[in-house]
Structure 1
Amino acid sequence: MNKAITDGIQFMPPAFKDGLNVWSSGDGTPGSDTYDGAANAAFVPADADFGGCLELQKTSSTQKLRYMGQTPLQPGCYLQIKARVKAISGNLPTVRVAGWAGAAGNTHVSGVTEWADAVTLTTYGEVVEVTGIVGSGSRSGVDMPWGRTALYGHFGLDIEGPNGGIFRIDDIEITDVTSVFLRDMIGIVDVRDYGAVGDGSTDDSAAFEAADDAANGRTVFVPEGTYHLADSVTFVSEVSFEGKVTMPTDRMLLLTKNFDLPNYIDAFGNEELAFKKAFQALLNNADHESLNLGGRKVALSGPIDMQAAVPNKTSYATRRVIRNGQIEANDNAAWDTQVYSSQATYDPSNSKTLTNVANVANIPVGSLIKGNGVGREVYVRAKNVGAGEITLSSALYDAAGTQNFTFHDFKFMLDFRGFSQLSKFAMSDIEFQCNNRCSAIALAPSGVGFNLRDCFVSRPKDRGISSSGGGCQGMIIDQCQFLSSEDSLNVGDRVSIAVNANANDVKLRNNRATRFLHFAVLSGGNSLVLGNHFFQGDSVANGPRTAGVVIIGTYTSSVIAGNYVDNCSIEWTNEHDSSPDFVTGFSYSAMSITDNIFLSGEVASWFSYIVIRPYGTGHFLNGVSITDNKFRSINGYIDRAERVDTSFANLNFTRFRDVLFEGNTFHGVSHKSANPVRVRHEQNSASQTWVVDAEGRLPFGGRARGVDSIVPINALRNGSGSVRYHMPYVELERGSNSDQVHLRFEEAVQGEVAVQMRIDK
């Protein structure tokens, strides 16, 4: 390769006889001083060794000589700068090839080596040749590796050492020496040289392995053709595909040196198949912990059974990541949700089993169950065809007896339910473009530590991320966007859910979700919902709003903090209890809702941001903290920020314990709840009994079960105006709603007091 020949690029600078006005005593950049007319430089037309040459006297510590023309540099092109020099008189110097690296906009490329090895002149009249090679790559023999940023150079010499010496320089030559490196640059091993046929039927596995063995650092080249590999093939060398390969599903192609999806697409010629084979390799130790999709879009014709793509693995627990690309669902009937109807029997004493299930063989594992007394997000976790039984992901709250159930088999782009267990699996920087045709990800039935981060889940039809079992244990979803396909629908018509989980320790952090039925349904404990923005409104005046986050379970030990809860609510239920009435335990306990922004607009006055919905009687609050939240309703007031949904049962207000409801702000909310709540009561006429009303400010409609303090604001006076220093006693839970207290004084007095009342003891 020679760019001067192939591309007509001019590298050689002009001879000195053509004028010294293009030869700089500086870096060679525009405006630098030249040797034209300089006192220490002259052109010598007839030298015995050189013919015409430049004679210089050294007057600077580093005497520079640079061609002011921009000698172009191209990636993969290597230039040799060569000069012949001899000393004439005076001090003997050292000489080296040097240059100035230039980038776009005539800027200097800093941090690169801009000189070659120096040569010392030792004898007058002896001709010494100095050379240096410059190029983009840091190769053996390259003196000045400048990388791809450098676009050109000003080349010449540096003369160093003591001043005063006189020396002569022959015309400087710059030539393309890329051919010196050509063997390394195009060093390839062709699989055909090792017996590969490429006819689509002959087994070329052995030929591929032999070519890889012989490569020894060179690239294995697969030329045009179709190469059938009947056995697994591992490449320890880099491989380049011009032709395509075919192989059985249970055989693997492991590209250990260039393991990414674009290379698998080159190999198999089909994005969907390439993705499956790359995932197969990822789980079979391809010397990589992650599969880079290379920014490519993979169009799917139907759901991918991820376990079927890796037939030799039914479980996996080593960290693996898929990253950087887009997965899109093509229009295809394979995505259609299948619905099955079957009669079955439920016994609450066997809370996670349906028995006597008709046509149980036809009901897919992982399908959503609907029926009377079935809570949200209950799935088929397993089935026993011989026994006619189905194992449920959660119990049913009111389905005792025999009835017809429906089973909805959603279709997912990536379906991991075929694995018995999958742990420490992550996906990042991927857009799942569901196009309202399908759902995105179905998790394995068990596993720990699934992680989705910096992803877009766009327009899922039914579910974004769904767990039908325990594969959501310790799940972390970070900085993802969930974009609903139901933006144009009113709230009451929506059915899609961004995330559901059944197991403990789920973390949803810094995500954004738009107009789903629910952002998240979490039925495990110890969840952290932090820093998310989820909104679910519509344009219907005084319209309903659904829950953004649904927490299912009584002792939840969860934190919901720092979120922007926009036109939706937080709902807390126990709909996965087979015996939903309280019998024993902690009841609704261990919940912290703090530092959130709650906003709604044009909603009905009965709407509330925090809703507790007991599915059975006798439940109470026990260790609940709702603090430092911002509640705001615009375009219409709401009655209160929190309430109990009594569709099934009310709470037992006589058993509330350790409820903290304070530090919140209210705008557009009629009743500003707090616990303890501070009430100022003014008694205008002397009375021995003062009735102090909480005025609807006790949270969740609770009872006045305690008084923390009674502080007179001014003097208490009797009927004759005399000051009295009496301390009253308190009668709790008075009035029709038990939200009043009576203050009993020794005698009739009047005045004003501040009373702190609370709903717990």
Structure 2
Amino acid sequence: MNKSITEGLVLAPPAFAAGLNVWSRQDGLSGSDTYDNSGNAVLVAVDQDFGGCLEMVKTDSVQKLRWMGNTPIFPGCYYRVTIRVKAISGNLARVRAAATPVKANGDLVFGATTAGPEVALSAYGRVETVSVILGTGNRGGVNLTFGQDVAFTHVGLDLVGPNGGTVRIDDIEVEDITSAFLRTMMDWVDVRDYGAKGDGVTDDSSAFERADADANGRAVLVSSGTYLLNNHVTFNSPVRFEGRCEMPRSKRLSLVRNFEINSYIDAFDDEEEGFRRAIQALFNFTDHDTLDLMGRRIELTEPLDVQAAVYDKTTYANQRSIKNGQIDVQNTASFDTTTVTASGDFDPSSPRELTNVPNISSIAVGSLVQGPVGVGREVYVKSTNVSTGVITLSAALWGAPSQQAYTFRRFKYALDFSGFDQLQRFVLEDVELLMAGRSSGILLPPAGLIFHIKDCFINGPRDRGVTSHGLGCQGMLIDRCQFLSTEQQKDVSARQTIGFNVNANDTKIRNNRAVKFRHFAVLGGSGHIVTGNHFFQGDNDTLGERTAGIVFADAQAKTVFVGNYVDNAYLEWTNEHDGAPDFQSEFSFGGLQILGNIIFSSNVPSSYRPIHIKPFGQGHYINGMTVTGNNFKTIRGQSLERVDMVDTTYAELDYGRFTDVNVHSNTFQAVAKQFQNPVTVPVVVNTAAASWETDLADYMPFKGRAKVVTAVLPDGAIRTGSNAAVWTMPYASGSIGANGQSARVVWSEAVKGKVFVTARCDAPT
């Protein structure tokens, strides 16, 4: 760039021969004294070294010579002022090139350096050359660095030292030497040209903003150095970083045109800090709703507290997403689990609270709660109130004593959202959390809506893949993800990791794959849709035990479980998060539909059951359940006795109260007793009898009673002992026998023959 060529600017003053009335004895301002008729300066028409020149007698301690014309100053432009001088007689002075900086309104700029290095005139007639390079950038070789308030300068020289000497001064040259600092053709501007120091001490925020404003379609270069930014900085132009930035956590760097992880890592010269700063900008309106990790692997040496990275927000409801990369957890002590043991008081009237917890300040929000009695699976600390000693839990306790000791285990998560009060519509897409058993994966916010995890790998969590410690899972979506356990080589009984848990309602869990966790999921709440997933949890133990793949922890599940592949894991339905687990007047176990699934097992004992109901209180019953179109199959081990069971560890069901139970159209391989409701069985009596009974225990789901007979259909003629046909109609009764699982057909006389009896475990309404 050369402004004198490209824009025709006049940079150098005229020759002295044009007149001395434009040469000031002071700073060059309009109205200042000139050398015209001054008495100590004359024009010399011919000099053997200079041709025409100015001869001057030094009479002031600092003898100034300034052109009263303007040499304009532009960001990114650099000028060299060159002057040749020789002593003629008298005392030998020292000389230096100089320039007076002036604002656009004509006022002097105070405090700036105005002169270059001095050169001593050491002999008469010897020509000395002095020069100075000036501009706006703090660059090597630039003698006079002017601030952004400088609009132009008055160039010239100073004579210093003893008075009385006479010197001759050749015409002053000013040349544009920008090309010595910048490329001849540029599509970028450098922040240093706009006053940035890059010394790590000076606040360069305003210089960055000026560079961005002046880029006008070009890129901005942050050249080598350390730039302190004490204010928010937004680049609306593309920017690239050779140097690095330092900012307080409360300030943010917004890169509008290249909003992706590589730019932020370059800006802060650190992967973790760059990731945090990019997240901060993501939540602060950069004209982008997505942070692209560009396929990059980010190494984390400590849990990433997302809210702390955002800094200035605890609630957020606009859609934001992070996609396309890998987060690699490093093996550091920052990810170690914190364990606290503390006593607490429990009142059944407030089943989600522990009170009078003495060391509550050491118990972290998001801690898993475990206790000897009354604590269900996946109960977490939702909040703490240190002043009152009260802990609020994510789920209710049941049957806990008035006081007992609890263990609080705070897992550490690669991505921790627990610092938000509420977060809505956040998306994690096509990201692998590579934990290698060093940390857990994602801790959700305590409240929120529609947290979406899709096409992600939750790879090797130490304890948990995704944890909800409150209601931040409301409406959560988990789509096409892979959950890969670190415990794949362990027997089932030794596994402790859990894929994810839910406390709130209306989640969609679709098309995921989970490998060998203790549980793939613990689902509290209701209204869930679980479809297209494949989770498998077997081991090589001969006739080994299995654990629940999914735990439905709400009696009123209102959940559709359809089209899944359940492999060596059972489905468990409980009410373990009910603070008053005994049935009172609420809805009991109901609303669960298990439709069209492959439910497979191998190398298990005959006692294994793929579907469990486990009541934690008395008086419950099945109040609406559908199990249809499923394929139950087992291989290699023992044939299963049956596929359904009631776990009576804590309580029985009320087997005579079942309603709206639909179990039909399932297929079975290597299952002895195949449950159905309604069930139709043949009853054959070869010796005439007036009362026929059939035991339906093999068919009734979940130990249900043969509550009602809905049809009796003879297969051929019914005959007396003498083979006479009987045309009278029988009556039928259900709930026969000690367990109520038999049905009875009663005739008007002793008869024999064959009938089909249809019975149900639930009375039709």
- TM bucket by the smaller chain? 0.7 to 0.9
Kindly provide the CA deviation profile for residues 653-680 of structure 1, in whole angstroms up to 9, marking residues without a partner as x.
Answer: 1111010000100111110110001111
Counterpart of 1:332 in structure 2 is 332
Kindly provide the CA deviation profile for residues 600-641 of structure 1, in whole angstroms up to 9, marking residues without a partner as x.
Answer: 001121111111000011000111111110000112211111
Find out whether 1:246 has 2:246 as its counterpart. Answer: yes
Counterpart contact for 1:226–1:244, Cα < 8 Å: yes
Kindly provide the CA deviation profile for residues 679-712 of structure 1, in whole angstroms up to 9, marking residues without a partner as x.
Answer: 1111011100111121511111111101121111
Counterpart of 1:633 in structure 2 is 634
2:653 to 624, 639, 651: 651
Counterpart contact for 1:397–1:577, Cα < 8 Å: yes
* Larger mean Cα displacement after TM superposition, 432-441 or 184-193: 184-193
Counterpart of 2:612 in structure 1 is 611
Counterpart of 1:589 in structure 2 is 590
How far residue 650 of structure 1 moved from its aligned partner, in angstroms, is 1.1
SS of 2:672's equivalent in the other structure is strand
Counterpart contact for 1:302–1:334, Cα < 8 Å: yes
How far residue 234 of structure 1 moved from its aligned partner, in angstroms, is 0.3
2:757 to 741, 751, 755: 755
How far residue 183 of structure 1 moved from its aligned partner, in angstroms, is 10
Counterpart of 2:404 in structure 1 is 403
SS of 2:684's equivalent in the other structure is strand
**Which residue identity is paired with 1:683?**
V
Counterpart of 2:488 in structure 1 is 487
- Partner Cα separation in structure 1 for residue 214 and residue 733 of structure 2: 94
1:520-531 to structure 2, matched below 5 A, reads 520-531=521-532
SS of 2:656's equivalent in the other structure is helix
Counterpart contact for 2:533–2:565, Cα < 8 Å: yes
Counterpart of 2:15 in structure 1 is none
Counterpart of 2:39 in structure 1 is none
- Partner Cα separation in structure 2 for residue 198 and residue 429 of structure 1: 37
Counterpart contact for 1:478–1:508, Cα < 8 Å: yes
Counterpart contact for 2:317–2:423, Cα < 8 Å: yes
- Partner Cα separation in structure 2 for residue 756 and residue 385 of structure 1: 62
Counterpart contact for 1:348–1:400, Cα < 8 Å: no
Kindly provide the CA deviation profile for residues 476-499 of structure 1, in whole angstroms up to 9, marking residues without a partner as x.
Answer: 000000000110111111111111
Deviation above 3 Å: which 4+ runs of structure 1?
A: 182-186
Counterpart of 1:204 in structure 2 is 204
* Larger mean Cα displacement after TM superposition, 273-282 or 718-727: 718-727
- Partner Cα separation in structure 2 for residue 347 and residue 729 of structure 1: 53
Counterpart of 1:216 in structure 2 is 216
- Partner Cα separation in structure 2 for residue 558 and residue 748 of structure 1: 49
- Partner Cα separation in structure 2 for residue 183 and residue 527 of structure 1: 62
Counterpart of 1:366 in structure 2 is 366
- Partner Cα separation in structure 1 for residue 387 and residue 744 of structure 2: 67
Counterpart contact for 2:734–2:759, Cα < 8 Å: no
How far residue 645 of structure 1 moved from its aligned partner, in angstroms, is 0.7
Counterpart of 1:140 in structure 2 is none
**Which residue identity is paired with 1:584?**
S
Find out whether 1:270 has 2:270 as its counterpart. Answer: yes
RMSD: 1.3
Counterpart of 1:671 in structure 2 is 673
Find out whether 1:435 has 2:436 as its counterpart. Answer: yes
Q: 1:184 to 1:757 in 2, by over 3 A?
A: farther
1:81-92 to structure 2, matched below 5 A, reads none
Kindly provide the CA deviation profile for residues 713-733 of structure 1, in whole angstroms up to 9, marking residues without a partner as x.
Answer: 121110001111222111221
- Partner Cα separation in structure 2 for residue 382 and residue 586 of structure 1: 29
Counterpart of 1:509 in structure 2 is 510
- Partner Cα separation in structure 2 for residue 380 and residue 321 of structure 1: 27
* Larger mean Cα displacement after TM superposition, 186-195 or 443-452: 186-195
1:34-73 to structure 2, matched below 5 A, reads none
Gaps of 5+ in 2: 1-181
- Partner Cα separation in structure 1 for residue 384 and residue 437 of structure 2: 29
How far residue 557 of structure 1 moved from its aligned partner, in angstroms, is 0.8
How far residue 586 of structure 1 moved from its aligned partner, in angstroms, is 1.4
How far residue 579 of structure 1 moved from its aligned partner, in angstroms, is 1.4
Gaps of 5+ in 1: 1-181
1:167-186 to structure 2, matched below 5 A, reads 186=186
- Partner Cα separation in structure 2 for residue 413 and residue 257 of structure 1: 28
2:701 to 699, 720, 738: 699
- Partner Cα separation in structure 2 for residue 696 and residue 634 of structure 1: 21
1:71-110 to structure 2, matched below 5 A, reads none
Find out whether 1:463 has 2:464 as its counterpart. Answer: yes
Counterpart of 1:661 in structure 2 is 663
Find out whether 1:352 has 2:313 as its counterpart. Answer: no
How far residue 274 of structure 1 moved from its aligned partner, in angstroms, is 0.3
**Which residue identity is paired with 2:686?**
N
- Partner Cα separation in structure 2 for residue 647 and residue 186 of structure 1: 78
SS of 2:376's equivalent in the other structure is coil
Kindly provide the CA deviation profile for residues 292-350 of structure 1, in whole angstroms up to 9, marking residues without a partner as x.
Answer: 01111000001111111111111111000000000010010111111100011111111
**Which residue identity is paired with 2:268?**
F
* Larger mean Cα displacement after TM superposition, 463-472 or 192-201: 192-201
Counterpart contact for 2:542–2:604, Cα < 8 Å: yes
SS of 2:281's equivalent in the other structure is helix
Fraction of identical pairs, as percent: 48
Q: 1:214 to 1:425 in 2, by over 3 A?
A: same
**Which residue identity is paired with 1:588?**
F
Counterpart contact for 2:346–2:401, Cα < 8 Å: yes
1:7-18 to structure 2, matched below 5 A, reads none
- Partner Cα separation in structure 1 for residue 619 and residue 339 of structure 2: 37
Counterpart contact for 2:351–2:398, Cα < 8 Å: no
- Partner Cα separation in structure 2 for residue 629 and residue 396 of structure 1: 34
Counterpart contact for 1:220–1:239, Cα < 8 Å: yes
Find out whether 1:741 has 2:743 as its counterpart. Answer: yes
**Which residue identity is paired with 2:665?**
G
SS of 2:472's equivalent in the other structure is strand
Kindly provide the CA deviation profile for residues 10-34 of structure 1, in whole angstroms up to 9, marking residues without a partner as x.
Answer: xxxxxxxxxxxxxxxxxxxxxxxxx
SS of 1:587's equivalent in the other structure is coil
SS of 2:324's equivalent in the other structure is strand
- Partner Cα separation in structure 2 for residue 315 and residue 585 of structure 1: 35
SS of 1:661's equivalent in the other structure is strand
- Partner Cα separation in structure 2 for residue 695 and residue 381 of structure 1: 45
How far residue 400 of structure 1 moved from its aligned partner, in angstroms, is 2.9
SS of 1:470's equivalent in the other structure is coil
- Partner Cα separation in structure 2 for residue 183 and residue 681 of structure 1: 99
- Partner Cα separation in structure 2 for residue 720 and residue 185 of structure 1: 117
Find out whether 1:195 has 2:195 as its counterpart. Answer: yes
Counterpart of 1:89 in structure 2 is none
Counterpart of 1:500 in structure 2 is 501
Find out whether 1:728 has 2:730 as its counterpart. Answer: yes
Counterpart of 2:455 in structure 1 is 454
Normalising by structure 2, report the TM-score.
0.75
Kindly provide the CA deviation profile for residues 112-150 of structure 1, in whole angstroms up to 9, marking residues without a partner as x.
Answer: xxxxxxxxxxxxxxxxxxxxxxxxxxxxxxxxxxxxxxx
1:698-717 to structure 2, matched below 5 A, reads 698-717=700-719
SS of 2:712's equivalent in the other structure is strand
How far residue 184 of structure 1 moved from its aligned partner, in angstroms, is 12
Counterpart contact for 2:709–2:733, Cα < 8 Å: no
- Partner Cα separation in structure 2 for residue 518 and residue 743 of structure 1: 46
- Partner Cα separation in structure 2 for residue 574 and residue 693 of structure 1: 31
Count how many residue pairs are aligned between Structure 1 and Structure 2.
580
Normalising by structure 1, report the TM-score.
0.75
**Which residue identity is paired with 2:733?**
E
Counterpart contact for 1:708–1:758, Cα < 8 Å: yes
- Partner Cα separation in structure 2 for residue 370 and residue 358 of structure 1: 17
Counterpart contact for 2:219–2:238, Cα < 8 Å: yes
Counterpart contact for 2:697–2:703, Cα < 8 Å: no
- Partner Cα separation in structure 2 for residue 184 and residue 630 of structure 1: 75
Counterpart contact for 1:303–1:413, Cα < 8 Å: yes
**Which residue identity is paired with 2:389?**
G
- Partner Cα separation in structure 2 for residue 661 and residue 536 of structure 1: 26
